[in-house]
Every structure is written in C-alpha cells, then in structure tokens.
Structure 1
Amino acid sequence: MAEVVGPRVYSCCKCRNHVCLHDDIISKAFQGRNGRAFLFSHAMNIVVGPKEDRQLITGLHTVADIYCRDCHEVLGWKYERAYEETQKYKEGKFIFEKSKIVKENW
C-alpha cells in the first residue's frame, strides 16, 4: 500500500505550529542572530512585528521580526525594504533561524 506523504513543513520549535514549507526555501546560506538561517519566499501562522531599520551583514534593511502566531516565539524576520540595489530580491521574504524551527513530515 502506498503511503500518503504530505508537504514537508517546518514548525515552531516551542509549540510545533506549522510556519513554513520546505518547498518555499530560497537559500540556506543566511546568518541569523543565533547561527544559520534560511530565506523563505512565504510564511504562515506568524505575526509580523513593527518595522525598523537594522544594519545587517549585507547592509541597511528595513525589517520586522516575525513571531509564532500561537506561542509568540521570535522565529526570525521579514525583509520589508533593502536600500542597496543588489539586496532588493530579499524584499517581502522571510528569514527563519534554523534553531527556531523543526522539521515535520520528513
């Protein structure tokens, strides 16, 4: 009998709320506050905090921290604006810190 396999998802490390899909990963070569981070095109079940300008490794960006909708754990941030032309591809994308998410359905 064939096993039904759902999408590979990542969940919040604290409450296991589904927050992003493996298929939405753009890059695994990012740096978060606490180590490795992944850039995603989409996110779900999150709350976006207030926007602020932040000096990151790749320059000045306007970002907003993202929180788990259920337990309010900070999971990463959303890029709202990139000031350098070479960084514009990040606008509207999400950083999830690897230490803040866990794999589900793998």
Structure 2
Amino acid sequence: MGRPFVEWFEGRYNSCAGYSCKMCRCNLASSSELVSRQFHSKHGRAYLFNQAVNLQTGPREERMMTTGLHVVCDVYCSKCMWPVGWKYELAYEKSQKYKEGKVILERACVVDVSEDGEDGEGGETESDDY
C-alpha cells in the first residue's frame, strides 16, 4: 500500500484556520472553502465546502435526502480512513445543482482549528440535508 500523501494548508498546521479529522488531526478543509454551516446529517450538524483535501472516496450511490435524490460518495480521511462525510457527485433537482462537486464534512467527525491553533466551536444550526 505505501504511505499516504498528506496535503497541508498554507503555512504550518497551527497557523491556518480550517477543519481537521477528529481522529488523527489531518487537515481536511480550509475555512476559506466553507460555503455553509446550515446542513444537517445523521450525526448532527454538517458543513458544506467547495473543496477539501486528504480524502478518499467510497463508491458512488444514489441517496434520498431531505432535499431530494442525489448521487453521492462517502468520504474518509486519507490518513486514518475515519468516515468524515460525503461528496455530492450529481443532484437531480435543478435547485440543488449548486451542491455538485462540493463536500459535506460532519461536525461530529471533524475538529475546527482556529487561527491560534485552539479547537473552536461556532456556527448556527439548521436542518438542510440527509
């Protein structure tokens, strides 16, 4: 198998705000890629990102969510293989097309790393999907 390649945010780990895997603290998404905190998953709050790094994807599957039928694939931290969310591959509803290619990270599976390196909370909660 080999050693996984891990992509870091600009600068060092603690010098950039973002979201990391809760299990191994591997960088997953930069705060600058955050689109919305108003998503909900089976484990609670979830965040929508334009893009994320250090992810492995599972098989594509159709999944019925509260906003309609989507083709998604589950995503896992590439360092420890912890399940962290899913990626939208295809949205059938015209109003949901903006989600295509974007990634959902579940709040229960990630850690919010603030500018000063401390784990942080924050954000509003509204149910939107899954």
- Normalising TM by the smaller chain, what interval? over 0.9
What does 1:17-28 correspond to in 2, within 5 Å? 17-28=26-37
Number of equivalences = 102
TM-fit CA distance, 1:6: 3.0
Distance 1:33 1:14 in 2: 19
Q: TM-score, normalised by structure 1?
A: 0.92
What does 1:87-106 correspond to in 2, within 5 Å? 87-106=96-115
Q: Deviations over 1:38-59 (max 9, x none)?
A: 0000100010111000000100
Among all aligned residue pairs of Structure 1 and Structure 2, give the percentage whose two residues are the same amino acid: 44
Structure 1: segments with no counterpart, 5+ residues: none
Distance 2:114 2:34 in 1: 16
What does 1:17-56 correspond to in 2, within 5 Å? 17-56=26-65
TM-fit CA distance, 1:103: 1.9
Q: Deviations over 1:3-41 (max 9, x none)?
A: xx8320211000001011111110000011200100000
- The alignment's C-alpha RMSD in Å is 1.1
